[in-house]
Amino acid sequence: MTIFTKIIKGEIPSNKIAEDKDHFAFLDISPASKGHVLVIPKQEVDYIFDLDDELLQSLIRFAKPIAKALDRAFKPLRTGIIVEGLEVPHAHIHLIPVYTKTQDFSLGKKVDYSDEKMAEIAAAIRRELK
């Protein structure tokens, strides 16, 4: 069982953004920028391109309103997407708000927020999803 499955099951706390029967989204605990969200299928599959076509399509459809909520909540230049998938053997996409044209848009760059600030960020995104 991956750490993401434990998060889905509530065994590990997270700043949940959204959930439906097939998908789960939450703040990355080591964000590359303010509002960095991970979007995952609930099905535990390591490699994103091993997801069946319907689940891969629905993952992107599930991520789109979250990206738009990030845009409304934090006013980045845009929200980018990274699919690397090496950190955890569970398919996932990173939604990363890009605030400047020279922003280091990589998973190696981390910003540090308190637990309270992370909860505020998550609440701001959830408000924009409604």
Active-site residue list: 92
Q: Give the CA angle between residues 121, 34, 8 to the nearest 5°.
A: 60
Sign for the pseudo-dihedral over CA of 5, 93, 90, 51: positive
DSSP state of 106: S
For residue 25 the two structure tokens come to 């989204």
Q: Which of 82, 100, 79 is nearest to 91 (CA)?
A: 82
For residue 79 the two structure tokens come to 């929200």
